[in-house]
Structure 1
Amino acid sequence: MSTKTLFILGLLFIIVSAYFYAQNDARLTQVSLKPTDIDYQAEQIKALQTTETGSVGYQLTAAQVTHYQNANTAVMSKPQIVIRPKNEREVTLVADQAQLDENKQIAKLIGNVTLTSVPLLTQNTSMSNLPVKMIGKNFVGDLVNNTVMTNEPLTFIHGNNRFDAKQFSGDLATGDYGFGQVSVMIQPAQ
């Protein structure tokens, strides 16, 4: 074969492999959990995850946890995750169930999910100090980067303001939230 043919085949291989690499979204893959892989089960757990610098990354409580050793995954019922990012807000995620990938620190929150963001200091009564609440289903949270997202419909509530959206992604550390396909109903004053 000539060098030109090998170069073209190599280029095609790189393009195809890049396509498959881009399509592999590790956050949304399903983990095969088998009863024989169960390492331990516990009830009424409370856990604290720290960062490399020793500060608190997040606090986790759950009614029940089942740990699968081969998948390095914990399945929890009634989990509550509390994150205190650097923007002086406390973010709480509550769900019906969750799967936590312990290697990647990715939490799949399954079923009804409520995200509440409350300011830690409430001296100022401006709109930015009001609690933010989001109610939806099936969120995915990256506990290392403090990000959360969902492709399911959700309701956003901030003070007297309320709207529905079909998608959500947010950076909990900065408070930057992005919504897709937002619908708002405006009621006249009474």
Structure 2
Amino acid sequence: MNTRVLIVLALIIAGIAGWFFQQQGEITPPVNIEATDVDYEATDIKAVQTNDEGETEYELSAESLIHNPETNQDEMSGITMDWQPSDEQRYMIEAGSAAINQQSGDLRLGGGFSLVSEEKSASDIEPIKVTGQTLMGNTKSRQVYSNEPVKVEQGMNRFTASSMTANLETGEYEFGQVAVTFTPAERQDKALF
């Protein structure tokens, strides 16, 4: 083939390509990525917190974690926490979401929570299970509270309360406006003599 034919053919292809790209219209503007208020994030979290003596205080697992530098809080979803604030008490906590400030120890559980307490030394005592929507507290003072209604179960005993305060180190609870449903045993008529 002749070089002139190849040059003419290349010019025709370049002209068609130029016309084709010109007909495609405007190129959409590039994606604008803005700065977020998230410092770091992770998924499938497993963490251990120790006390000043190096003993494990709590173990935590979560589906996801986001650290917000503006509030200095770790915001998590789908958490499970095994908390042992003293030699006598152990707590299993589950919640839909949580926010923890590592410096101050402030804790907020939301999306529904379950707090199950066990006394390590007394195996014959039934564990106490407290459920509700929101639980606030502090990991350093080992105090938790809820100003919303909670449901409390211990063995066959059940009641609801309008609020709750608990010292997790000692295992002491205080409940406000307790409502109990009592179902007595069925009456059985018997002759006395």
TM-score band w.r.t. shorter chain: 0.7 to 0.9
Q: 1:179–1:97: structure 2 CA closer, same or farther, 3 Å change rule?
A: same
How many angstroms apart in 2 are the aligned matches of 1:87 and 1:132? 17
How many angstroms apart in 2 are the aligned matches of 1:85 and 1:160? 27
The number of equivalent residue pairs is: 152
How many angstroms apart in 2 are the aligned matches of 1:133 and 1:49? 23
How many angstroms apart in 2 are the aligned matches of 1:166 and 1:87? 30
How far does the alpha carbon of each residue in 1:70-108 deviate from its partner, in whole angstroms, 9 at most, with x for none? 321111001122211225231011111111112211110
Partner-residue secondary structure (3-state), 1:62: strand
1:11 paired residue number? none
Kindly indicate whether residue 163 of structure 2 is the aligned counterpart of residue 167 of structure 1.
yes
Structure 2 unpaired stretches of 5+ = 1-34, 187-193
Does the Cα contact within 8 Å between 2:89 and 2:170 map onto a contact in 1? Answer: no
2:136 paired residue number? 140
Q: Tell me the CA shift for residue 121 of structure 1.
A: 4.8
Instruction: Give the TM-score normalised by the residue count of structure 1.
Output: 0.75
Structure 1 unpaired stretches of 5+ = 1-34
Within-5 A mapping of 1:1-190:
36-121=36-121, 124-125=123-124, 129-190=125-186
Amino acid of the structure 2 residue aligned with 1:84: Q
How many angstroms apart in 1 are the aligned matches of 2:87 and 2:51? 17
Q: Percent identity?
A: 33
Partner-residue secondary structure (3-state), 2:36: helix
Q: Tell me the CA shift for residue 54 of structure 1.
A: 1.3
How many angstroms apart in 2 are the aligned matches of 1:95 and 1:66? 16
How many angstroms apart in 1 are the aligned matches of 2:36 and 2:102? 19
How many angstroms apart in 2 are the aligned matches of 1:174 and 1:59? 19
Alignment root-mean-square deviation, CA: 1.5
Partner-residue secondary structure (3-state), 1:37: coil
Does the Cα contact within 8 Å between 1:58 and 1:143 map onto a contact in 2? Answer: no
How far does the alpha carbon of each residue in 1:41-88 deviate from its partner, in whole angstroms, 9 at most, with x for none? 111101111111212222111011111123211110011222112252
Instruction: Give the TM-score normalised by the residue count of structure 2.
Output: 0.74
Considering Cα pairs closer than 8 Å and 6+ residues apart, tell me whether 1 or 2 has the greater RCO: 1
